[in-house]
Amino acid sequence: MQVFFCCHLFSLESKMAAVFLTWVLVSAIFFEPFVNARPSPVASDKRLNSSDNEHLVTNLPGQPDVDFRHYAGYVTVNEKNGRALFYWFYEATTQPDDKPLVLWLNGGPGCSSVGYGATQEIGPFLVDNDGRGIIYNPYSWNREANMLFLESPVGVGFSYSNTTCDYSALGDDFTANDAYAFLQKWFLRFPLYRKRAFYIAGESYAGKYVPELAELILDRNSADPSLHIDLRGVLMGNPETSDAEDWTGMVDYAWSHAVISDETHQIIRKSCNFNSNDTWSNDDCNRAVDELFRQYNEIDIFSLYTSICIGDAASSDDKALQLMFTRSSTMMPRIMGGYDPCLDDYAKAFYNRPDVQKALHVSDGHRLKNWSICNHKIFKEWSDSKPSVLPIYKKLIAAGLRIWVYSGDTDGRVPVLSTRYSLGSLGLPVTKAWRPWYHQKQVSGWFQEYEGLMFATFRGAGHAVPIFKPSESLAFFSAFLQGESPPSSR
């Protein structure tokens, strides 16, 4: 591969973080009938063209038999620099021609939507806990939509650039522009989806990616109708939204859930100015925030009430990376979003298999790509992060887009308080008051509807809601696509 050097290449680093895969299997057996995987379709369908066939996945090792097609491979977003983004696309399990297209993004920044969203959360194949194979997910979101997962920006997962200076330019705007270029190129490969109803969904730092890409699509739709994308709405889970409110909510949540003492909470509220670009000039603030992280390092910040992973992964040097935290005088401090340290290792083992990389069209099975679930260098060197995307929310609301935000209420990383503080600052009129929503006759959470926006909680779910509540999250996703409120009666 030709590489154009204009600065130093970095090496990918490994990542560990928090939750359990077994709930999916338990819930599949005990709470809903298991959806049996069915035989793979024949590839000679009239909808396929030669370029489709190039990316059709036909021999993924250990894949359960299914009756839908899926595709994976690269889309070049910048020919001059050799920038290419990796995607994995799953057709809907039934009636794919009639169902919308949904793009899913994970954040970090620097973490893989394929490693997390596609194969730990909402895709049809979940990485098994032996690191050698995959299992069928009966609660996959492709039961309701055609699902597109993108590893973005370059340097994440399999996505790459041949021009090394691209890596030093990464930030919010860079990511949005490349994602938009990806979509336009992807539609050339899959023209049947060009005019399809389109939604963007994601979680954690994708709370910034999603509205930023949505805004770009709206602007480009107006500038060039020939490139129109039929964007209908956005869906965001435990999203980073507004730095000051996110930090205040994290501190208040830690105190209200007895993670930190009254004294630590009082010091932070008194000495930390989260609206300032110079937050860390105050020594009292520094020490108190360090104390908050010392306490969170004892448990799982992403899921307060589940056990941490004990074993080689938990005792490795990477354990310290679970709460990667960086201070900056020019940008709001950041904390790496994370998940399960055990599952992360399983995903890494799976995606670095030669036969898997060959099946996904990222290598020939001999010259392998080095895949990691998160690229910590991207996180540490992220140079462009909007302090708040709330102004974009206002723009999306004015455009009439469907905007749903949800929050797992046992997440300490982007807790429900952070999201409530952020959305509260919009000052939107309430159209339907706070009330519970139900799934299988049980309270799944609470929700409230505003003019132009809906906010909901998931009771007992951590940072990556679908891992904890797979059945509930699928039902919620279905309601979102239909534009219907979650069930508010048993």
Distance CA 66, CA 238 (A): 31
Cis ω for the linkage preceding 109 (within 30 of 0): yes
Catalytic residue among 204, 242, 418, 422: 204
Q: Phi then psi for 246, rounded to 5 degrees?
A: -60, -45
Q: How far apart are CA 436 and CA 171, in angstroms?
A: 38
Q: Is 444 a catalytic residue?
A: no
Among 485, 483, 481, 466, CA closest to 139: 466
Is 463 catalytic? The answer is: yes
Beta strands in 190-317 (DSSP E): 198-203, 231-237
CA distances (Å), origin 199, targets 101, 148, 287, 482: 6, 10, 42, 12
Long-range CB contact pairs, 55-58, < 8 A, 24+? 55/189, 55/361, 57/359, 57/360, 57/361, 58/359
Q: Please, are residues 154 and 167 in contact by the beta-carbon 8 Å criterion?
A: yes
Q: What are phi and psi of 86, to 5 degrees?
A: -95, 140
The whole-angstrom separation of Cα 186 and Cα 193 is 9
| Cα pseudo-dihedral 308, 313, 317, 321, rounded to 10 | -50
Cβ-based burial of 307 (10 A; exposed 0-12, middle 13-18, buried ≥19):
exposed
Beta strand pairing call for 83-90 and 160-161: antiparallel
Helix, strand counts (H, E) of the chain:
16, 15
> Is 439 designated active site?
no
Catalytic residue among 411, 418, 422, 439: 411
Dihedrals phi, psi of 408, to nearest 5 degrees: -70, 125
Tracing tokens 């005088």 back to the chain, one arrives at 329
Q: Enumerate the β-bridge partners of residue 448.
A: 455
* Alpha-carbon gap, residue 121 to 137, rounded angstroms: 9
How long is the chain? 490
Contact 280, 310 (CB under 8 A): no
Contacts of 36 (CB under 8 A, 6+ apart): none
Residue 21 has a CB neighbour count (10 Å cut-off) of 18
Q: Catalytic residue positions?
A: 204, 411, 463
